[in-house]
Amino acid sequence: MKQLLWLAFAALSFLSCKEKRNVELGLITKEAMVVSAREEASKIGANVLKKGGNAFDAMVATELALAVAYPYAGNISGGGFMVYRQQDGSIGAIDYREKAPLAAHKDMYLDSLGNVMPERSWYGALGVGVPGTVAGITEVHKRFGTLPFEELVQPAIDLARKGVIVTEKQEKRIKEYKDKIIEISGDSTRWTADHKAGDTIKYMNMANTLERIKEKGRDGFYKGETAETLVSFLKERGGIITLEDLEKYRAKWRDPVTFTYDNLEVISMSPPSSGGVCLAQVMKMIEPHDLHEYGHNSLQAMQVIVEAERRAYADRSFFLGDPDFVEIPRDALISKEYLDARMQDFSFEKATSSEAVSYGKIEVLESTETTHYSIVDQFGNAVSVTTTLNGAYGGKLYCDELGFFLNNEMDDFSAKPGIPNMFGLLGAEANAIAPEKRMLSSMTPTIVEKDGKLLMVVGTPGGSTIITSVLQTILNVHEFDMGMQEAVNAPRFHHQWLPDIVMLEPGAFSDQLKQQLADKGYQTTEERTPVIGKVDAILALPDGRLEGGADKRGDDTAVGF
């Protein structure tokens, strides 16, 4: 009883403290919640939970709903990762990342002089990796689902037929990419139409494709009509994916990366995503510092985080790739000894030069594609899922007959060691292209425990900025005592080793702080990226309720009960 009273008191003071500070609280619910990039998808996921489904059932329904409501990044023709923690504390992860087709080869994006032809992996049929999403959701359902699969697909079919209302942000996005989509997909694509906020877009062909998945499960995508249509569509446009590639695709269960930070246990995605290893490296490098004492987004806190990021992103580029193809010294990379040694040359006096950490001068092309959703169910299970087409609307290639955009995930391989991909990330041999290999990712679906209990489910899109956005959201809660929505709203910054620049969220950092950073030798910019992450997260409050953090930078919405 005493403990219950204390918990209630702790929760009340937590909330009233936030209220006093006049910060935005997220949705608070008693039992369950879904937070995703679109209200329609969050509602569909939450309805599944309300019907008695678990977080894994809701994952299937939310993923498919995003494929309809959020074609910018939601998909059935891309891939992703899910990290889970069940109510009994058991954890795991599934990798449904795309892979290189059988006919892929190391030099496929090089010209006869050995120069990279970036457009060939950015746009169109040759940049498409073998999609993993349908294999991922069917595998999750097979292992953990409780409701019939058809019931989980039906809401997305209904949504596709009823149509999705265009939001203002979506109107802007469609306008921004329309010309490129028409250039790549041809002028008979449905995307030639102008779409204004408030319009309804129906996706009849997507509904038919989903019907086949509903009836046949994974075979409804990887075999038969969908597979044949897809393969001939790609072949006509210079693609190399075959029916054999589709048939052979399998999602893989993986052991997540786990590590401690103070009294937190962090569970995050393992290779072929760099997310978990990189997050572990950064957090272990900053752990010896008292960030709380330094203050949120203070000069000292930013210096420590930037320097840890610089070193972790340099390692990412050299060591990480598909674990089924390359040896990754995973334990050594996140060991305390190694990371203490890595930070030994850090000083508050002056920025370390990235040249001193390694080589290279590169340009960055940032984008905010990919999408993340977080789910906690009424039984206490949690899933953290990040899924992607890679670029915004993938490679801008839309298959009208099937009703979806294709991914351009092949660009996440390093086309040539030492040459950056579309995120400016530099790759090495470990991430070179090979048939059936998975390309390295930055996706960082993460779950955090505190004192053995679920604390947070968190993740974000944002290409190379994903890892730092997840990091800052966790730190905002743990070090700087923020609630979930406040932690998501807080301004973010990013450093990725190369280019040697601290990217700042535009208009969010004071001139004084920028000057202080410059005085220490840090070059900053607010122009490289308009948005650093778009975090969707759930926090378990001390009294057992849940607070959602739905990123105001997008149309993201929390729904629950």
Q: Which residues are catalytic?
A: 370
317 neighbors 428 (Cβ within 8 angstroms): yes
Total chain residues near ligand GLY (CB under 6 A)? 8
For ligand GLY, the closer of residues 185 and 367 by Cβ is 367
CB of residue 415 vs ligand GLY: minimum separation in angstroms?
14
CB of residue 388 vs ligand GLY: minimum separation in angstroms?
5
For ligand GLY, the closer of residues 297 and 465 by Cβ is 465
Positions in 495-524 near ligand GLY (CB under 6 A)? none
Q: Which stretch binds ligand GLY (CB under 6 A): 8-16, 199-207, 213-221, 438-446?
A: 438-446
For ligand GLY, the closer of residues 32 and 128 by Cβ is 128
Measured CA distances, 305 to 212, 246, 314, 319, 493 (Å): 47, 41, 14, 21, 10
> Which one, of 298, 308, 314, 283, lies nearest residue 444 by Cα?
283
For ligand GLY, the closer of residues 73 and 351 by Cβ is 73
Positions in 290-329 near ligand GLY (CB under 6 A)? none
Positions in 233-252 near ligand GLY (CB under 6 A)? none
Establish how many alpha carbons lie within 13 A of residue 353's alpha carbon, considering only the half-sphere containing its beta carbon: 5
Report the relative pairing of strands 446-450 and 264-268 from DSSP bridges: antiparallel
For ligand GLY, the closer of residues 54 and 442 by Cβ is 442
Q: Which stretch binds ligand GLY (CB under 6 A): 32-40, 437-445, 507-515, 537-545?
A: 437-445
55-69 and 133-144 helices, crossing angle to 10°: 160
Structure tokens at 404: 């979806």
Mark residues 477-496: x for contact with ligand GLY by CB under 6 A, - for none.
--------------------
448 neighbors 474 (Cβ within 8 angstroms): yes
Mark residues 441-470: x for contact with ligand GLY by CB under 6 A, - for none.
xxx-------------------x-------
- Determine the Cα–Cα distance for residues 350 and 341; give it in Å rounded to an integer: 18
Per-residue buried b or exposed e for 254-285, using 16+ beta carbons within 10 Å of the residue's own CB: bebbbbebeebbbbbbbbbbbbbbbbbbbbbb
Question: Cβ contacts of residue 318 below 8 Å, gap of 6+?
Answer: 358, 428, 430
CB of residue 126 vs ligand GLY: minimum separation in angstroms?
16
For ligand GLY, the closer of residues 45 and 463 by Cβ is 463
Mark residues 5-24: x for contact with ligand GLY by CB under 6 A, - for none.
--------------------
For ligand GLY, the closer of residues 26 and 459 by Cβ is 459
Structure tokens at 294: 């330094």
- Determine the Cα–Cα distance for residues 337 and 172; give it in Å rounded to an integer: 48
* Beta-sheet strand order (sheet of 264-268): 28-29, 546-550, 536-540, 453-458, 446-450, 264-268, 257-261
CB of residue 496 vs ligand GLY: minimum separation in angstroms?
12
CB of residue 423 vs ligand GLY: minimum separation in angstroms?
7
Per CB under 6 A, 390 contacts ligand GLY: yes
Structure tokens at 369: 């594609």
Mark residues 191-230: x for contact with ligand GLY by CB under 6 A, - for none.
----------------------------------------
Q: Residue 2, Cβ neighbours under 10 Å: how many?
A: 6
196 neighbors 408 (Cβ within 8 angstroms): no
Closest residue to ligand GLY using C-beta atoms: 441
- Determine the Cα–Cα distance for residues 57 and 65; give it in Å rounded to an integer: 13
For ligand GLY, the closer of residues 140 and 440 by Cβ is 440
Report the relative pairing of strands 371-376 and 33-36 from DSSP bridges: antiparallel
For ligand GLY, the closer of residues 303 and 368 by Cβ is 368
CB of residue 369 vs ligand GLY: minimum separation in angstroms?
7
299-319 and 466-478 helices, crossing angle to 10°: 140
CB of residue 192 vs ligand GLY: minimum separation in angstroms?
27
- Determine the Cα–Cα distance for residues 314 and 389; give it in Å rounded to an integer: 25
Mark residues 394-423: x for contact with ligand GLY by CB under 6 A, - for none.
------------------x-----------
Establish how many alpha carbons lie within 13 A of residue 525's alpha carbon, considering only the half-sphere containing its beta carbon: 13
For ligand GLY, the closer of residues 283 and 467 by Cβ is 467
CB of residue 390 vs ligand GLY: minimum separation in angstroms?
4
CB of residue 271 vs ligand GLY: minimum separation in angstroms?
12
Q: Which of 209, 268, 368, 388 binds ligand GLY (CB under 6 A)?
A: 388
Q: Which stretch binds ligand GLY (CB under 6 A): 1-9, 232-240, 440-448, 524-532?
A: 440-448
Question: Cβ contacts of residue 194 below 8 Å, gap of 6+?
Answer: none
Is 520 exposed, middle or buried, given 0-12, 13-18 or 19+ CB atoms closer than 10 A? middle
Mark residues 327-366: x for contact with ligand GLY by CB under 6 A, - for none.
----------------------------------------
Report the relative pairing of strands 524-525 and 502-504 from DSSP bridges: parallel
Report the relative pairing of strands 257-261 and 164-165 from DSSP bridges: unpaired
CB of residue 386 vs ligand GLY: minimum separation in angstroms?
8
Rounded to 5 degrees, φ, ψ at 81 are -140, 145
Residues binding ligand GLY (CB under 6 A): 370, 388, 390, 412, 441-443, 463
